[in-house]
Amino acid sequence: MLEDQEPTGAPNDLESLWLPFTPNRQFKTNPRIVVSAKGMHYRSHDGRDILDSSAGLWCANLGHCHPKVVEAVQKGVATLDFAPTFQFGHSKVFELASRVAAEMPDDLNRVFFTNPGSEAVDTALKIALAYHPARGEGQRTRLIGRERAYHGVGFGGISVGGMVANRRTYGPMLPGVDHIRHTLDLEHNAFTRGQPEWGAHLADDLERLCLLHDPSTIAAVIVEPVAGSVGVYPPPKGYLERLREICTKHGMLLIFDEVITAWGRLGYASAAERMGITPDLMTMAKGLTSAHVPMGAVVVRDSIYETFMKGPEHVIELFHGYTYSGHPVAAAAGVASLDTYREEGIFERVRALEPHFEDALHACRDLPGVKDIRNFGLMGAIEMEPWPGQPGKRGFESMIACYERGLMTRIAMDTFEFSPPLIAERAHLDQIFEIVSEVIRDKASPS
């Protein structure tokens, strides 16, 4: 698979690097290092092909080192390494913004660029907060998130996020934030294929918070349309529709955090398109450049943008931006990625592959200690019973065992999360679940 790529050797000093979201001491005793990648595979430092079951971190949607994106990046960096987007501009960033807008539903037409998804989330929250005073409702300062949500690691994102470990050591975070309940309830929706039938009423938890805080104090509600990092929770049927209704009724902005779901993961340009529900703001990242260069964005309705376009014309309308908002090389990667999604029919491909993915995933149901299986689009999860008294250990050891067998997997505690590159063939999916099944059996109890 990677015969044209020679290993370039492993680093000889592991000590300096502090790895993110990694048990560093364990890693350094048994490092898992890759040196190159192409398509569906990485090449490990010890010369093995490693199949990618998670598109990196839900991001390498077109597979690794896609020739068209690589070429655009190489050409882009050689043409324009950098240009500011504060008070100036460059052609690629405008091109990408119009291309993104053209793929978004309804009047989601205005695009603000960031780098990672976490910045997209913080940017969306800031736009939402700044929007209300700009239209004379400055009392709307509260933000509502959801339990178990992942919205990145900025202070805004962890405040509205609901994953305990990401929050507990970072102080009080943003004030005025509250959370609705999450949608997983294994008594009612275990082993659902796609969207659960049960659970639309859980959206009414937002009405509870409206009663508690008064909706006129709430600026925005943010949710992942499909919760990803917590272990793939597809929204119950009717749930997002209900959230949309409640937000509209009370004048609260609805933000879809589509950092994972935008650009093909669900077989469409966005979850909003697949579900037929238009949020007021949408975040995206990852698939926007198919991970070749970091880039994120917030897309907002025309009316939100226009609300800011007031006052003297020489005065900045939104005091916000990053040095690298709309970096030319990232923008080149973005345009090439969006071209490729269309040219290669990637979204249609995902829709065609989804039933096979679902079947292969749910075939793991009777393996020892499998507690639940969930899927939507090319997102899937297998939740395993933890080893007694050792939450997370089974998942961690299973991830290592997969890597030893040539498969890179993503885990959240004792849950496998799958999000293969969207170029996957059926045979890749079969191989993924063959290895995973073996490992689930092997790791049924502590060795």
Ligand X SMILES: Cc1ncc(COP(=O)(O)O)c(C=O)c1O
The Cα-based distances of 320 to 242, 290, 363 in angstroms read: 32, 25, 48
CB 112 within 8 A of CB 123: yes
265 in contact with ligand X (CB under 6 A): no
Contact with ligand X (CB under 6 A) among 42, 131, 150, 268: 150
Closest approach, Cβ 429 to ligand X, in A, equals 22
Q: Which of residues 370 and 379 has its CB atom nearest to ligand X in the complex?
A: 379
Binding-residue total with ligand X (CB under 6 A): 15
For ligand X, the binding residues in 198-227 under the rule CB under 6 A are 224
Q: Which of residues 210 and 291 has its CB atom nearest to ligand X in the complex?
A: 291
113 in contact with ligand X (CB under 6 A): no
Closest approach, Cβ 259 to ligand X, in A, equals 4
CB 423 within 8 A of CB 39: yes
Closest approach, Cβ 194 to ligand X, in A, equals 19
Instruction: Identify which range of 60-68, 113-121, 300-308, 407-415 contacts ligand X by CB under 6 A.
Output: 113-121
Contact with ligand X (CB under 6 A) among 44, 61, 118, 337: 118
Q: Which of residues 419 and 431 has its CB atom nearest to ligand X in the complex?
A: 419
Residue 179 tokens read as: 């959370």
377 in contact with ligand X (CB under 6 A): no
122 in contact with ligand X (CB under 6 A): no
421 in contact with ligand X (CB under 6 A): no
156 in contact with ligand X (CB under 6 A): no
231 in contact with ligand X (CB under 6 A): no
Instruction: Identify which range of 68-76, 99-107, 149-157, 335-343 contacts ligand X by CB under 6 A.
Output: 149-157
Q: Phi first, then psi: give them for residue 86, nearest 5 degrees.
A: -90, 115
287 in contact with ligand X (CB under 6 A): no
Instruction: Identify which range of 137-145, 176-184, 190-198, 254-262 contacts ligand X by CB under 6 A.
Output: 254-262
151 in contact with ligand X (CB under 6 A): yes
| One character per residue 388-417, x = contact with ligand X (rule: CB under 6 A) | ------------------------------
CB 68 within 8 A of CB 346: no
152 in contact with ligand X (CB under 6 A): yes
Q: Which of residues 121 and 435 has its CB atom nearest to ligand X in the complex?
A: 121
234 in contact with ligand X (CB under 6 A): no
Q: Which of residues 295 and 435 has its CB atom nearest to ligand X in the complex?
A: 295
273 in contact with ligand X (CB under 6 A): no
Q: Which of residues 121 and 277 has its CB atom nearest to ligand X in the complex?
A: 121
Residue 53 tokens read as: 């079951």
Closest approach, Cβ 318 to ligand X, in A, equals 21
Closest approach, Cβ 262 to ligand X, in A, equals 10
236 in contact with ligand X (CB under 6 A): no
Contact with ligand X (CB under 6 A) among 145, 215, 228, 231: 228
Closest approach, Cβ 263 to ligand X, in A, equals 13
The Cα-based distances of 218 to 126, 161, 200, 361, 440 in angstroms read: 13, 16, 22, 40, 45
Closest approach, Cβ 228 to ligand X, in A, equals 5
The Cα-based distances of 60 to 98, 149, 183, 383, 441 in angstroms read: 22, 22, 27, 23, 29
Closest approach, Cβ 67 to ligand X, in A, equals 24
293 in contact with ligand X (CB under 6 A): no
Contact with ligand X (CB under 6 A) among 229, 270, 398, 409: 229
Contact with ligand X (CB under 6 A) among 262, 285, 293, 407: 285
The neighbour count for residue 286, using CB atoms within 10 Å, is 28
Q: How far apart are CA 52 and CA 429, in angstroms?
A: 10
Using CB under 6 A as the criterion, which residues of the chain lie in contact with ligand X when the complex forms? Answer: 58, 116-118, 121, 150-152, 224, 228-229, 257, 259-260, 285
